[in-house]
Amino acid sequence: MRSLLLGERRLPTPPAGDPAFAPLEDARMYWPVQRARVAKTVREGAQSLGVPVELGLLGLWKHALPGAACVERIGLPRRAVELTLGDALILHVDPRALIRSTHWQGWPHKYRPTSSAFIWDGEWDLRRGDLRTSSRARFIQDIDNHRDDLTQSEAFAKYMKRLKAGKPWSSHQQGILLDSEARILTFLRVYLSFMDDMTVRGFDATRGKDMLGVAVTREGRLLKINRGLHRLAMAQHLGLPSVPVLVKAVHREWWARVTQGLQGQDALVRLCKAFQTCTPELMSGRLDP
C-alpha cells in the first residue's frame, strides 16, 4: 500500500488513487482521504448486501412469479441486470459521435431517475449537454496545445489563481494537493502522459475506475452518463476509431417498444439484439438548458 508520512501519520491509498498521481499525494490530505475511504466502504458494503436481494427480484421477474409486474414497474434492479447480461451490455462506438450527455445541472433531484434501476422513466433524455464544449474537452485540448510550455495553458492559470488565493485545488478521492507551481505542472503532465499512452496503446477500458457509461433514450440513441469524461475527451481529441461503452440504463418507452410485453429471457434476448442498432445521439434535446 502506498503511503506518505507526516510525523507518524500515513496517507492511506486514496479511493480513486492512480499510481501516476503518487508523486502528488500529500499526507495533509489524510483526513479527507479517510472520510472518502469510509464512505466508499459503506457504499460498497451496502451494495454487496443488496446484490443477492436484487438477483432474487430479477429471478422473480424472469420466471413470471407473483410480483413480477411490480419488479418491472420499479425499473428492474440494475446491478442484477448487469450481472445477468455481462458483456452483452458492452457496445463499441465512435467516440467522436458520442457527443451528447445527460444534463443534470439545475434539474431537481425528484426528476432524476435512480441509479439502482435499469429502466428509467421521465424526460431525462430530452435534457442533453454537448460534450464538444464541455470543461473536459477544453481541458484536454488546452494542455495538448500547450504541452511544450504548460505555464501558458488556461489550466495552469486556473490552478495558479486558486493557489495565489490561498485555496489550492485538492482531491480527497486521489489524495493530492496542488499547493505549488511544480505540483500543478506535474499534475498537468500526468494527464498528458495518459493521452500519450492512449495514442500508442489505444483506449484501455480497465484504466479508469468505471467503464464509460451510456443510457439508451426513448428513441434508441446513446447518451453519455456518469464518469470517464476525461478519458472520453482524450479519445475524441485523438480521433480514436472506437471505444467500449457500458449500457447502464434504458428509457421505459424504448424498453416497451423492444420487448413488446415479453418478460424473462425472451425480453432479454430482444433487448440484447436491439442494442446492436443503438447509435449515439447527435441532436440537441427539447429540454436542453
For 72-100, how does the pLDDT look when each residue is reduced to its tens digit (9 = 90+)?
999 999 999 999 999 999 999 999 999 99
Rounded to whole angstroms, the Cα distance separating 253 from 119 reads 9
For the entire predicted model, the pTM comes to: 0.90
H/E element, 162? helix 154-164
Q: Decide if 249 contacts 118 (C-beta within 8 A).
A: yes
Distance of alpha carbon 103 from alpha carbon 112, whole angstroms: 10
pLDDT at 263: 92
The string of pLDDT tens digits covering residues 17-65 is: 788 888 888 888 888 888 888 888 887 787 777 899 999 999 999 999 9
For residue 3, pLDDT over 70 is answered with no
**Percentage helix, strand, coil for the chain under 3-state DSSP, each rounded to 5:** 50, 15, 35
Which has the closest alpha carbon to 20: 162, 181, 196?
Answer: 196
Q: Give φ, ψ of 172 to 5 degrees.
A: -75, -20
Q: Is residue 110 scored above 50 in pLDDT? A: yes
Residue 130 has pLDDT above 60, yes or no: yes
Cell 492512449, residue located: 198
Give 186 or 209, the one with higher predicted confidence: 186
pLDDT for 5: 45
Q: What is the DSSP letter of 123?
A: S
- For the chain, the domains span 16-280
| Summary mean pLDDT of the chain | 91
237-264 pLDDT, tens digit per residue, is 999 999 999 999 999 999 999 999 999 9
- 1, pLDDT greater than 60: no
Q: What is the pLDDT of residues 157-203, one digit of tens each?
A: 999 999 999 999 999 888 899 999 999 999 999 999 999 999 999 99
Residue of 90, 121, 95, 58 lying closest to 210 (CA atoms): 90
